[in-house]
Structure 1
Amino acid sequence: MGSVLALTLLMACSEAHEHTAPAVNPEDSVSMMTTYGVNTLISDSGVIKYRIVTEQWDVNTVRQPSRWEFMKGIFFEQFDEKFRVQGYIQADTAWYFDQQRLWKLRGRVNVRNTNGLIYTSEELYWDGLRHEFYSTVFSRLVTPERTIEGTYFRSDEQMTHYMVTNSKGSFLPNDLEEEKADSTENKK
């Protein structure tokens, strides 16, 4: 009987504890703007330069560094001054760090320009301050003349001057014949 009384007193004295989640940290804050179904044109000095198409665009200025997030994919088109398409970029996910002017593109990244270059990778950075693209993961470039693959890639914004290291590739037979002819002439 004493143990029943002690158990009853113990249960009566125990307080109910409320289970609450911790406060939201500024790093975890929600976006200040979320836009759905985006198809917008971006101009520079009154000239339309880009089109951005995305299913969802989040702008978060509280997180450090501040960023735009495109978690459901992104498609860019670049135009010349006569509104002709100069190239496009497509990725499954993208982040734009506005203060650094840096794009981080991830997952099935595809780039194509008017020279016929096709670039594919799982990750690509676009540095707006240095006006260059770079990647440190496996990348593949296909041009009308050759195919090059490697694990380090760097290029200008037009993808006309590029470097691929730790690479392998295939070239047209004519390229090899010209190289042999050049080396034979140099030995004479």
Structure 2
Amino acid sequence: MSHIFRKFFFIQTSIAISCWAIAMLVLFPSCTEKKRPLAAAIQKRDSLPFMKSLDVTTLISDSGITRYRIKTKEWMIFDKKEPSYWSFEKGLYLEKFDTTYHVEASIKADTAYYYDKKKLWELRGHVLIKNLQGDRFSTEQLFWDQMQNKVYSSKYISIKKSGRTINGYGFESNQEMTVYKIHKTSGALPIDDRKIAPPDTTKH
């Protein structure tokens, strides 16, 4: 997961900075223009985003092959906040393709935050993840710590795996979400009704 986001944000940051520079050249008045009265400047910029991008859709290639697609309706960077962070308050969606462009894995969240100095992701809302093994994870909050290479949550989580569903509170995993541990688990196994004989009511 880590290399996916590194490539994505390197590309998006380059695009955003280029667009920002063009906008400044277009909107900033020349020195020869007559000065106009301006409103009082905002002194505390920590409440304003350094960058805001709308309707972002990005395809990312790996070794010349398109392998990832990322979508978000709004991406903002608050570089002056403490701690600084990137916000995706209108949702974040990522897909990973195989060589035939079939979706292998995906991540979806109603809201996402990335704390850049801590290298920590926080996914909120309806968080849905499908890993490369086809396991499906559903929870309302999930953290991904890139520095410690782990994913975790203290919330209720449901996992659909190999025809069964496992539920629990509290979750820890590697960042590929292939080796994981659930706290306070409960599971449900599929039952074939045809193999269950009805009770014999003729015996007393």
**C-alpha displacement of 1:163:** 0.4
Q: Which deviations, in whole Å up to 9, do the C-alpha atoms of 1:82-139 show, x marking residues without a partner? A: 8764311100000011111111000000001231201000001111122221110001
Cα distance in 2 for partners of 1:140, 1:80 equals 26
C-alpha change, 1:49 and 1:24, in structure 2 (3 Å) is farther
TM-score by length of 2: 0.65
User: Which of 161, 169, 179 is the matching residue for 2:187?
Assistant: 169
Aligned twin of 2:117: 99
Residue identity (%)? 37
Aligned twin of 1:154: 172
Aligned twin of 1:34: 52
Amino acid at match of 1:149: N
Aligned twin of 1:109: 127
Q: Which runs of 5+ in 1 are unaligned?
A: 1-22, 175-188
RMSD, aligned α-carbons: 2.5
Q: Which deviations, in whole Å up to 9, do the C-alpha atoms of 1:17-70 show, x marking residues without a partner? A: xxxxxx76454x210100001012457898876432000000111101111100
C-alpha change, 1:71 and 1:155, in structure 2 (3 Å) is same
Cα distance in 2 for partners of 1:98, 1:86 equals 27
Amino acid at match of 2:134: G
Aligned length: 151
Give the stretch that moved more between structures: 165-174 or 63-72.
165-174
Secondary structure of the structure 1 residue equivalent to 2:86: strand
Cα distance in 2 for partners of 1:45, 1:66 equals 32
TM-score by length of 1: 0.70
1:134 equivalent to 2:152? Answer yes
Cα distance in 2 for partners of 1:117, 1:92 equals 20
C-alpha change, 1:123 and 1:158, in structure 2 (3 Å) is same
Cα distance in 1 for partners of 2:80, 2:186 equals 43
